[in-house]
Amino acid sequence: MVRFLLAALLILLVPGSALAATVAGDRTVVLTEAPVDNTYLVGTDVTVTVPLPADLVAAGTSLKVFAPVKGDVMLAGATINVAREVGGDLRAVGGSISIQDDVAGDLILGGGSVTVSGKAKDIRIAGGSVRVTDGSTGPVTIYGTDVFLSGAFAGDVTVVASNTVTLGEGTSIQGALKYNASQQAGIPESVTVLGGVEYTGASTYLPTIEEAKTFALAGTGVFLTVKFIAALVLTGLLAGLFPVFTEKLTQRVLRRRPGQVVLLALLGFGIFVATPVFILLLLVSFVGIGLAVLLGILYALLFVLAYVYAAVLVGALIAHFAFKRDIFTWRWALLGVLALQILDFIPYVGPIAVSVLSAAAAGTIALIAYRFAFKRLANDPL
């Protein structure tokens, strides 16, 4: 997955004439011209209306795929609708997900409301309300609140539901049906389960060690994916909407000597440590409660901005030292997000480096805000 995302971000840095991949990012993205290779789309409202010959990676609020995709598909958004067949694997995370056609490979979904009306080689779903209405060509594993199944299932079906499990009329399962729910499923007489039905009541159900590990890994994967996408979108928006401020911040760091950058990091650490103490002191007095609340909000905002602009600094450092480019764009910021996420996974050294970069970003933001507020033009040791 990391290599897949790395390819998606690195391709943003290469001119379109050099690579066949199609890259688009805007508030509204409508793909109407057929690409020749992989497609990467980011936007508030993303719509695909032409067949895609390779992979598709898309992130946004509303994602709609109204044409077939021959390769793999990876989607993340609030509302996701895939209306045509997918030739490879399909992985999606969202609030409301609808898959209306067949998937040749694996289908892995995580969402609040999930509806699948096409077949897939292997189906794995974690969600709230889950409906699989056309069976599958392989095994099915579902974790949900209310689960509805119908159609022809070629393999085993495993369901863990906190509320109900329902089977539609005429459903056939070639393998076994194993399910855990608060109450037994109502199984119509027209339903056939060749491998037998195994019901485990919710009150006595305890997951096996392997199931617990699988669920924990799945939850961690979803969390890291959402975290990465959130950081990617927020960093891209800030770098794109506030290019002057972003350019000023990166230049203040790149043009300073290492000792001055250390001073900026120390300033950031000082703000991170001293601000909570000051807020507590304000809370002691009734008069200072309002100011304490305001400072608390600003402090939380600074934490978020420090992490985002730490990624911006990483992108600027890569652009400056690796590619000898001093013109900073939002594309370098996106690469910085990925580099910072990978750096954070390195034991011991990674978290320390991320903390130092975040502190340096916080110190630079505070310095810029101070000069803006007090119109201080004189040089200082920072």
Could you write out the DSSP letters of every residue in 85-96? -BSS-EEEEEEE
- Which pLDDT does position 19 carry in this prediction? 39
- Whether 262 is covered by a domain: the verdict is yes
- Whether 167 is covered by a domain: the verdict is no
Strand partners, 87: none
- Whether 287 is covered by a domain: the verdict is yes
- Whether 80 is covered by a domain: the verdict is no
- Whether 83 is covered by a domain: the verdict is no
- Which pLDDT does position 7 carry in this prediction? 40
- Whether 27 is covered by a domain: the verdict is no
Q: How many domains does the chain have?
A: 1
Domain range for 290 is: 212-374
- Which pLDDT does position 174 carry in this prediction? 94
Residue 7 burial (10 A CB sphere; 0-12, 13-18, 19+): middle
- Whether 348 is covered by a domain: the verdict is yes
Please list the pLDDT of the chain residue by residue as tens digits (382 residues). 333 343 444 344 333 333 345 555 455 677 777 788 888 887 778 899 999 999 998 887 889 999 999 999 999 888 999 999 999 999 998 889 999 999 999 999 988 899 999 999 999 999 889 999 999 999 999 999 899 999 999 999 999 998 889 999 999 999 999 998 888 887 898 999 999 999 887 544 456 666 666 666 666 666 767 777 777 778 877 877 788 888 888 888 888 888 888 888 899 999 989 888 888 888 776 667 778 888 888 888 898 899 889 988 888 888 878 777 777 777 778 788 888 888 888 888 888 988 999 999 999 998 888 887 776 444 454 5
- Which pLDDT does position 30 carry in this prediction? 76
The candidate with the shortest Cα–Cα distance to 108, out of 83, 66, 143, is: 143
- Whether 181 is covered by a domain: the verdict is no
- Which pLDDT does position 20 carry in this prediction? 45
Q: Which residues contact 215 (CB under 8 A, 6 or more apart)?
A: 143, 207
